[in-house]
Amino acid sequence: MNFKRNALRTVVAAAGLAGAVTASAGTWAPAGAGAPVFATELFGATTPDITPTAAVYTMANVIASSSQASITYTLTGGTWGGTGLSSSSLAYLSIAGAGVATTALVDGGANTDSTATFRVTVAITTTSTDTFTLTYGITGATGMATASTTNGPTLAFGIVDTLGSVDTSGAAGVVAASAAGVTAAGAANASPSLIDVTNSSTQFTGASTLSYNAGTFNITDSGAGVESDGVTAFTLNASEGAVTAASTIATVTGDFSASIGTDTDVDGNTSEGEGVTLTACTLAGNATTLTATTATFVLAGADVATQAGNTTDCVVNINVDGTTVIPEQSPSLTLAIDYAAANAVDEALTVALAPIAKDGSTTAVNLLLNPTGAYDNFIRVSNTTSVAGDVFITVYNDSGDAATYTLVTALGAQASTDLISVDTIYASAQTADATFDVGTGKLRASVTGEFGGLSVQNISTSTDGTTFFTF
């Protein structure tokens, strides 16, 4: 029995000299010199084939002449790209120039497969520094839509013969990373001007009385990502980063009732979108279209690409005509960049711009009875602060027409007005604007003080004058 065991060991050892040897520490570089960083924009609902860096395994052991080995690659997070692999996808290189071997794909490797096995046939014994290099693509790469260096596809390596491992297996390693090729960002103006209530709320405080800096935005071509070939830099409005014609849209929403009539160039034309503008950047200009609620900027791809290399932010300005009451509001900005490639993830940005507020405090009085109605109606205004200031009122009819005037001049600290009748309020509104008319409807008002603690009470009395109620 001992004789038979010793004989078997001798046969195995001899076989090792002719083919496989005891496994040693080969070097596995699944991403070659480094994993390409692809642009996340490439990976939308469908993904393009991508080309990672060729994977290289450097042998520590040798394969004897007239013997064979099998190399298996295992891809996770995709399948083989294009039409799949072929025998020529795996290249053997004898570093010392002495070894001779051929490779043939014997299993897997189709573009629906994620494994591939190659048979290596050795004619002249290899050397310990020889390499096997796999050139391949990936279809349906996963984990690439979000910037990451760890979530992309991985590739593993193994080499065996009939007796076991020929060299150390190569553990699965990441072969593709991703990063945003283009970014967009914006911010509200941290210290905006205010609606100047001393000018009937038709202008702003500060130096630019007819223009409001609402905030900024910018587009950045980061240069961090590459195209699907793994080499070409992903560039906005070029190649795989091309945008469709007139596809970049910046939209500002708000209440632009005081902006539509703006004519900043004083040419008599108020339909040029001058009420909302972009300044200080390559994209500077008037709104392409302007309505009472929306300003739309249609931006040329070439200009967007230029701005992407410009560190100066675009400023969003809301301009007013100086005669229309400026409404308090919270404007916002959206930016959309539409790539021409169907698979690409379009850029999108939403920014809350600086709210437009009055210089002081405002209270809404949503119901004032008709001056000619059966009930007497009054308001009483109080200044609950330690600072005196004027009080202004904007009166609206049911049709939305408005008239603004100074209700009280220099209301003292902690002081209150007498009861001010709706008849008086309406008469003063008509003095301010003779076209203002309540008709048979009712009124509402917005009362603003040049101080923070404004209080307004609305009081009505019964028809016989014996009782009153507030609302």
pLDDT of residue 361: 92
308 and 201 assigned to the same domain: yes
Min mean pLDDT across 14-18, 239-243, 250-254 is at: 14-18
Residue 385 structural domain: 361-470
Residue 327: pLDDT above 90?
yes
Within 8 A by CB and 6+ apart from 56, the residues are 29, 32, 131, 132, 133
91 and 158 assigned to the same domain: yes
- The rounded distance, in Å, linking the Cα atoms of 38 and 41 is 9
268 and 392 assigned to the same domain: no
304 and 392 assigned to the same domain: no
Residue 19: pLDDT above 60?
no
pLDDT of residue 289: 98
Residue 283: pLDDT above 70?
yes
- Of residues 265, 238, 268, 223, the one with CA closest to residue 37: 223
Residue range 198-209: mean pLDDT, rounded: 91
- Of residues 91, 27, 30, 33, the one with CA closest to residue 59: 27
Residue 198 pLDDT level (bands cut at 50, 70, 90): confident
- The last residue of a domain, from among 326, 352, 378: 352
Residue with tokens 């279809």: 139
Residue range 335-362: mean pLDDT, rounded: 95
343 and 377 assigned to the same domain: no
Residue 22: pLDDT above 80?
no
Residue range 61-65: mean pLDDT, rounded: 96
Within 8 A by CB and 6+ apart from 251, the residues are 294, 295, 296, 297, 333, 334, 335, 336
Dihedral of CA 135/140/144/149: which sign?
Answer: negative
84 and 231 assigned to the same domain: no
Within 8 A by CB and 6+ apart from 440, the residues are 370
Residue 86's Cβ-count burial label (10 Å; 0-12, 13-18, 19+) is exposed
Look at the chain and report how many structural domains it folds into.
3
- The rounded distance, in Å, linking the Cα atoms of 312 and 308 is 10
CATH of the domain at 390: 2.60.290.11
- Of residues 56, 73, 61, 49, the one with CA closest to residue 25: 61
CATH of the domain at 108: 2.60.40
Residue 24 pLDDT level (bands cut at 50, 70, 90): low
Residue 195 pLDDT level (bands cut at 50, 70, 90): very high
325 and 376 assigned to the same domain: no
pLDDT of residue 197: 87
- The last residue of a domain, from among 296, 323, 352: 352
Count of all residues that appear for the chain in the document: 471
DSSP structure string for 243-293: B-TT-EEEEEES--TTTTT--TT-SS---SSTTEEEESSTT-EE-SEE-SS
Asked if residue 42 lies in contact with residue 344, where contact means CB atoms within 8 angstroms, the answer is yes
52 and 144 assigned to the same domain: yes
Residue range 165-178: mean pLDDT, rounded: 98
DSSP structure string for 99-162: -EEEEEEEEE-STT-SEEEEEEEEEE---TT-EEEE---EES--S-SS-BSSSS-EEEEEEEET
126 and 14 assigned to the same domain: yes
Residue 8: pLDDT above 60?
no
290 and 143 assigned to the same domain: no
Asked if residue 64 lies in contact with residue 122, where contact means CB atoms within 8 angstroms, the answer is yes
- The last residue of a domain, from among 145, 163, 179: 179
The torsion defined by the Cα of 203, 209, 214 and 219, in degrees rounded to 10, comes to 150
25 and 165 assigned to the same domain: yes
48 and 197 assigned to the same domain: no
Residue 245 pLDDT level (bands cut at 50, 70, 90): confident
pLDDT of residue 298: 97
| DSSP 8-class letter at 30 | T
User: Would you report the helix, strand and coil content of the chain in percent, each value rounded to 5?
Assistant: 10, 40, 50
Residue 9 pLDDT level (bands cut at 50, 70, 90): very low
Residue 16: pLDDT above 90?
no
Residue range 23-45: mean pLDDT, rounded: 92
